[in-house]
Structure 1
Amino acid sequence: MRTEVFAVDAREPEKDAILRAAEVIRRGGLVAFPTETVYGLGADALSPRSVRRIFEAKGRPVDNPLIVHVGEREAADRLGKVDERSRKLMGLFWPGPLTLVIRAAGEVPAEVTGGLETVAVRMPAHPVAIALIKGSGVPIAAPSANRSGRPSPTTAEAVLEDLGGRVEIILDAGPTVVGVESTVLDVTGDLPVLLRPGGVSLEELARAVGPVLRSPGGDHDQRSPGTRYRHYAPSIPVVLLDPGDGWAKDRRLCRGGVRVAYVGMSPSPIAALIEIRFGTVEGYATGLFSALRELERSGADVILAELPAEEGVGLAVRDRLRRAAGKD
């Protein structure tokens, strides 16, 4: 398959490119498109055959549910049960990087839900994504547009690297802004449960709806994409660095003659082959996945990654780094 790449304006996407991409979606094909978080790999969410192509292209386990992207808040009612609390969250955070897990309607294919009774839904905050969804006339199921297990793509170049020849069209609107995936919140119970930290912080959610539980893991986590299997991993090992540990682990690696690449906010405590530093935790989130891809190409043997504080979007960065290191 030949993959076509269309450069589009992030704010006012060219109509011809959107029309071409929307036609591919309607015909059962795959389109990679930007959101504010990462690039997504989209297909018609109501077509089981189309959705199966997502799993084939990514090499993704079929029991891993997908997020359904909608172009307006009201479209969520077609996909599942939307209660008053969910509508409040939609009003506050949609469009934006918040995914809500709700009770699924009957017409949502099992391929989307992973065989569960729930469905994950969000409205992205990106003009290209919204134009594609509305132009297609259907909700779009879309995980991150990368090979399963790899770092998520925040540029069209990363999508092409992983999925070139596997998708019909890539819409290139430049780098994404948030950089980590959406927050996933289960709203089917008495209290909302945070299944995956992301672009909307736990603190923001608590201010909006009161107490939010942290997922206990296990079966509950299965309702969220990106939690059951190893994700976000570059091709070389990732070692996690916590400043509170005194960096002893790093020094042992250094003495062993290991070629080290470093990513974090603080200066590297050891000599590194290449070092990528971010001035803020928001910058860390935006640049994390691109940094992991750059560091794996550096010739290093291992990536040392500093864990930020567990607050704000730092919670999401910690989650992605732990999964990249195989710790969750």
Structure 2
Amino acid sequence: MKTRLLKGTSGDIDIAASIIKEGGLVAFPTETVYGLGADALNAEAVEKIYIAKGRPNDNPTIVTIAEQQDIYELCPHVTEDMKKLMDAFWPGPMTMIVPAADIIPPVTTANLPTAGMRMPDSDLTRELIRRSRPLAGPSANLSGKPSPTTAQHVMDDMDGRIDAVLDGGPCRVGIESTIIDMSSDEPMILRPGMITRAQFEEVLGKRVLLDKTLNVKPDPAQGDFKPKAPGQKYKHYAPNAPMILFQGEHEKVMAAIEEEKKKHEQAGEKVCVIAFSENQSELAAHEIYARLREADKEDVDIILATALPEQGEGFSVMNRMLKSAGFNIKEV
């Protein structure tokens, strides 16, 4: 299979829509990362996503829609709280876990009674959905690798594995959407993103819980755990080289990284340093995956990176960095 690189012309959107309607795979842009789309209501098409990515089949996809009204066909009961969040944050980087309608096949939800719903802030992708179908859309990378934030990143991983990539330019945000579970009476964030807990609480006027496993080293005994959302169970965002996160005061961290860098270079190793200051959480979100992918291209032996304060957006970026580093942290 040769993967086609499509642009945002009306004709190319029609080509992408035809591929989706015929059961094929098209990678699509969003404001967060590129997604890998198949017709969410076509079980055979969704199965191809798992094969292309090498994705475990108990890791649910996210259903990507074009309009708020689309959710009413896909969720049997849309609550007032769900409507508040939709009005506040869609289109945008929020995924809601909601009860799944019977028309959504089990492969799309990983056999769960719930499904993640997402309405991205990408006119190009929403037009693709209008011309085709709701999309099952996990990130368009090989399973476990850093997510793609450009069409070229997708091609690096998926060329020859999928039918087409719809190029919408670089992603604006850079890390995946916040996932909030709205399938019970107590809203809970299952994956942090650029929409924060405080923002949700302001809109809902109630407490929002945080999944207690967030930013905590996973328990190896969780083998039977069935994730409700992507990113909860399996290895994610990992570069090829081992990665160490240095945590502490910024000046001490930079000195420790420089010392560690010299040690590895003296041993003949190629070192990549990824450094963000304490107030650069947004920049880190935008650039972290691209920098990890560049490290892979340069075939480095080790990656040394600065940790960020785990507050607000920094908490979300650190969620990705901790998983990228396999929770390998040095306190300085």
Q: Secondary structure at the match of 1:184?
A: strand
Query: Do residues 168 (structure 1) and 168 (structure 2) align?
Result: no
2:238 to 214, 233, 240: 233
1:105 Cα deviation (Å)?
1.1
Task: Determine the structure 1 residue equivalent to 2:275.
Answer: 264
Q: What 5-or-longer segments of structure 1 have no aligned partner?
A: 9-13, 267-277
1:253 Cα deviation (Å)?
6.0
State the aligned residue count.
311
1:299 Cα deviation (Å)?
4.2
Give the TM-score taking structure 1 as reference length: 0.90
Describe the shift of the 1:213–1:221 C-alpha distance in structure 2 as closer, same or farther (beyond 3 A): farther
1:194 Cα deviation (Å)?
0.6
2:179 to 164, 184, 189: 184
Q: Distance in 1 between matches of 2:134 and 2:166?
A: 17
Describe the shift of the 1:252–1:286 C-alpha distance in structure 2 as closer, same or farther (beyond 3 A): closer
For residues 40-86 of structure 1, what are the alpha-carbon distances to aligned partners after superposition, in whole Å with 9 as ceiling and x for unaligned?
A: 10000000000000000000000000000011011111112311100
Checking the alignment, whether the CA contact within 8 Å between 1:4 and 1:170 is kept in structure 2 is: yes
| 79-88 vs 36-45, which moves further | 79-88
Q: What code does the residue aligned with 1:188 have? A: S
1:290 Cα deviation (Å)?
0.5
Q: What is the root-mean-square deviation in Å for CA atoms of aligned residues?
A: 2.0
- Mapping for residues 1-328 of structure 1, pairs under 5 Å: 1-8=1-8, 14-80=9-75, 81-136=77-132, 138-209=133-204, 210-217=206-213, 222-244=227-249, 246-247=252-253, 250=257, 251-252=259-260, 254-256=262-264, 257=266, 258-266=269-277, 280-327=280-327
1:259 Cα deviation (Å)?
3.4
Describe the shift of the 1:255–1:157 C-alpha distance in structure 2 as closer, same or farther (beyond 3 A): same
Checking the alignment, whether the CA contact within 8 Å between 1:3 and 1:169 is kept in structure 2 is: yes
Checking the alignment, whether the CA contact within 8 Å between 1:307 and 1:317 is kept in structure 2 is: no
Q: What code does the residue aligned with 2:273 have? A: Y
For residues 4-38 of structure 1, what are the alpha-carbon distances to aligned partners after superposition, in whole Å with 9 as ceiling and x for unaligned?
A: 10122xxxxx1100000000000000001101110
| 279-288 vs 138-147, which moves further | 279-288
1:239 Cα deviation (Å)?
0.7
1:122 Cα deviation (Å)?
0.9
For residues 248-292 of structure 1, what are the alpha-carbon distances to aligned partners after superposition, in whole Å with 9 as ceiling and x for unaligned?
A: 8643564353532111213xxxxxxxxxxx973211111110011
Percent identity of equivalent pairs: 41
**4+ residue segments displaced more than 4 Å:** 218-221
Q: What 5-or-longer segments of structure 2 have no aligned partner?
A: 214-221
Checking the alignment, whether the CA contact within 8 Å between 1:62 and 1:114 is kept in structure 2 is: yes
1:244 Cα deviation (Å)?
4.2
Give the TM-score taking structure 2 as reference length: 0.89
Q: What code does the residue aligned with 1:104 have? A: A
